[in-house]
Homo-oligomer: A and B are copies of this chain.
Amino acid sequence: MTKREYSSKEIQALIAQRGLKVTQQRLVILQFMLTRETHPSAEEIHRELVNQYPSLSLGTVYKTLDSLTVSGLLHKVFCVDGIKRYDVNLQPHAHLYCNTTHQIIDFEDSELQKLVWGYLQEKKIQNFQIEGVQLQIQGTIQNPEKAVIIESGVTL
């Protein structure tokens, strides 16, 4: 499974569909998120984009991530390091968190998703309305220098 590409037109549509104004900043930030398999923080996003878009301010990155999240295009990601990170919300997936590099990497595995969802649907926790499940697999990347395709299609 490879990440599909999104055209500028498609990204514009995603934003417009949610009733948000299609600004340069939103386009650029959402595009950036769509091309990433890891989940950069606001500061990382700003650092990487500010060269190409020098007027982009860090405050705008925070505000943009927030409005894209409220509108449902992004999800916040749980993370032990206490930094807020975001995730393009296309299909459900788990995350690999590297204790060494502090990267978060998508782990798409529909079987695992079904397993957990199925179990929880069955179980019906009393007094609690389930809205989502976040699964994070903590561990260590073995060879950070080598890019290897792992089973689920994630590139490490």
Contact = CB atoms under 8 A, between A and B. Distances in A.
B139 A136 contact: no
Interface stretch (A2-10, A15-23, A53-61, A77-85): A77-85
Given A112-B119, A115-B115, A115-B119, A132 B138 contact: yes
Give chain A's interface residue range (CB within 8 Å of chain B).
Answer: 35 or more
Contacts of A126: 148, 150-151, 156
User: How many protomers of this protein does the assembly include?
Assistant: 2
Contacts of A136: 78, 133-136
Interface of A: 76-80, 82-84, 96, 98-99, 107, 109, 111-112, 115-116, 119-120, 123, 125-143, 146, 148, 150-152, 156
